[in-house]
Every structure is written in structure tokens, then in C-alpha cells.
Amino acid sequence: MTQAMNPPIEPAHSEERPMLDPTRTQALRAVIDSLPLTERQRNLAEETITSLSPEAADTVIMAHQRLVETLPAALAAIDRVKRARRPAHRNGSTDPAAPTPNLKDGGA
């Protein structure tokens, strides 16, 4: 009897990801540097750069750009709301740290 020869089993290879081009890598590092990260978080973010696909890297870079572009307007809107609410305190104080009266107790 002749035994059928099984083909050799090759080790499983992880899917190779293309390396990011230097421009994307530099942009991702700029994103990381702009964030208030702990050292551990920064190290994890650096490790993540090597595993990102170009498409995922572009998504992160674009999201960061949108945040940077819209943040000043968002902060200005928050300031406008804060200024508008200050005179509305029923206790008459313009001090933002002043307590708001408890309306359940009749404002006392």
C-alpha cells in the first residue's frame, strides 16, 4: 500500500501590512504629540502607528485636523454660553462660583 503524501504544513503568517510612508508617520506622531497622554499611553500610541493601514492612518489624521479646525469655535461657543448664563443667576451674583439657589426650598 502506498501512503498519500500530505503537503507540508506551513506556519501561519500574519497578514503583512504595508509600512506607512514617512509623511503619514510624521503626521501621526504630530497627532500623538498634541494629545495630553501619559508616558504609557504615548508608548502604546507609538506602537499602534506600525500596525495602522494607510486608510486607518488617514482617518486618524483627518479626525485630528477636523478637531483642530473646529475646537476654537467650540471653545468660543462655550464661553458665550457661560457669559449668557452668568446674569441669569437668581441670586443676583455675577460671580460664577456663587451657589445657585435651591428652588425646591423656595429660593432660600
Model confidence pTM above 0.85: no
Which residues contact residue 87 at a Cβ distance below 8 angstroms, ignoring those fewer than 6 apart?
Answer: 94
Please, which pLDDT band fits residue 13 given cuts at 50, 70 and 90?
very low
Tens of pLDDT, residues 60-83: 999 999 999 999 999 999 999 999
Tally of CB atoms within 10 A around 32: 19
Tens of pLDDT, residues 29-56: 999 999 999 999 999 999 999 899 999 9
Cα 39 from Cα 10, distance rounded (Å)? 39
State the average pLDDT for the chain.
80
